[in-house]
Chain A
């Protein structure tokens, strides 16, 4: 799906599971948030997007996201690696990253915050819950000032 040029802020989602991608996309559509959503398949593709390389070279089509949602367990580059990478890059360090995962493991939570995550959400099993969660996240970051 080719996003249309828009000045709407973008929420970048890194998620490898196609079902979850579908749910997240649908949840965003249904929650009525004005933000655009860009979905990449893993952490590495997220770094390609952020650097504006390859298919993401056009910044008008693929602007830097206002907030990033990332899964933890993904092929090639996982969520923690993505967080680490972003922390090491001055130009991306200040973009808020939220973890959206099925793991409620204490260690994962601590690890994520330790690597600079600004939030940690458990993927709800019931779709209506996901819809509410997406609406809440979008609304929160819409209200929050970001650098």
Chain B
């Protein structure tokens, strides 16, 4: 047991400084057996050779006892204790107290097995170790031990069998070092390594580790599948050679960018050369791996097969093209259909009307009055069919004509419509009021003029018999929209039909027959829809209708 004066005389920091870090367990063991030879005269030095010499101290200055104490104190990073043959502790160093937790008083008399874990004790590890030491002189171990407080620590240690010169075992010396931090780190490293290996191996994403000069060091299964190559073909090959030539420049830029250190990883899309000359689109992310000192070590490339995405992109493009051409085809067919209606449907129509006229002109004297009336009805029907065809074509055109977005002065458009309707027969006693300015909107001048023409014409056409038509056009600012009203004092529209009037071929007027084809308001409706606006009709009190058009400002 160390004495207090000695500790003070030598100074612990000095001694620790000298010893710590230079000696390992085996060196310590050799020193220990040597020192033991001084303490116990009958101790044998089996692990001969290297003698442990404390610096600046000669054996003549120090008694063996003192030297032993010095040694035990100095080796404070090591737990050293001695036991008898039954493993009962008989000597306990300060290092042992520090590492294992028992004070010398507590430790003396305890059995050395106390530092073993319950599992190790159960499987006879202490006995096995003692047997090995007895047989071979010593037994090395690396294992988890238990401290006084029950916590565990990982220790690297050696058990030395102490024998007298006759070879009779009289005890054991145990030396161990707390290696828990190393062990923990090692375990963490191991776990991390395992994780990386598992990730690398099982990732559904292709992963390649390359040297700084771009040679493949390691590739995972997913990558090998993408490029259709085995390890033997890949190792040492330049990764860039697996990229199609057209995309290599992008890869060079990617690597340059990473090496410039502007960014940690750079993602590009490139094509890899797959098996049998095919190409595989991948999304490639490349990152630089640094060593512990922060120096570039390797590149790691992740390659996600995006062929399917690329394929569907191509499919999509093809689909769009197909649909567009089919639409263009349909539009052409529609145009040709309209042309046919305009041209070919009208020829027989003219014939009907024409021959009816000839009959009337040439044979009026021989045809009875009733026959003449029929002829006139034929002519009227032909005339009506001709107007229907004209309106139908007009409607189709408003649906198909390309609209431009230009500044439209609604006042001018409305005025032009009024001027045109004013000249037409039936408008002689009509009054037109235009509350200018109506405002400006983004729309198509020509089509919008058709819209106003239809509304103004209707306002005059659907007049009451007992009052001359009055048409008022004015606008209303509704904040985000501009609404234009076309108001008349005519026969009005039954509120039940206020939506139906905008339908194709809808004719709502009741009572007296007012000529029309029911296309005009359909044109208004379609046009406003195409211009992104709205239309509607309200009842005007006491007479008439108020049609409105609403435009986004």
Contact = CB atoms under 8 A, between A and B. Distances in A.
B347 interface: yes
A19 B346 CA distance: 12
B342 interface: yes
Contacts of B382: 125
Interface of A: 17, 19-20, 22-23, 26, 72-73, 101-105, 123-128, 130
Contacts of A22: 354
A128 B349 contact: no
Nearest to A19: B351
B343 A19 contact: no
B178 interface: no
- Tell me what chain A mostly uses at the interface: helix, strand, loop, or mixed: loop
B357 A128 contact: yes
A123 B350 contact: yes
18 contacts: A17-B351, A19-B348, A19-B354, A20-B350, A20-B351, A22-B354, A23-B350, A23-B354, A101-B343, A102-B343, A102-B350, A104-B342, A104-B393, A105-B339, A105-B342, A124-B350, A125-B386, A127-B358
A128 to B, nearest CB: 7
Interface of B: 339, 342-343, 346-351, 353-355, 357-358, 379, 382-383, 386, 390, 393
B357 A126 contact: yes
Contacts of A17: 347, 351
A131 to B, nearest CB: 9
Contacts of A104: 342, 390, 393
Contacts of B339: 103, 105
A123 B383 contact: no
Which of the listed residues B351, B382, B390 has the most CB atoms from chain A within 10 Å of its own CB? B351
Nearest to B345: A102
Contacts of B379: 126
Which of the listed residues B354, B382, B390 has the most CB atoms from chain A within 10 Å of its own CB? B354
Contacts of A130: 354
Contacts of A19: 347-348, 350-351, 354-355
Contacts of B357: 126-128
B496 to A, nearest CB: 36
Given A20-B347, A125-B382, A102 B342 contact: yes
10 shortest interchain CB distances as A-B pairs: A19-B351, A127-B357, A102-B346, A125-B386, A127-B354, A23-B354, A125-B353, A102-B343, A125-B350, A103-B343
Contact of A126 (B343, B351, B383, B393): B383
Contacts of A126: 353, 357, 379, 383
Contacts of B350: 19-20, 23, 102, 123-125
Nearest to B353: A125
A20 B347 CA distance: 8
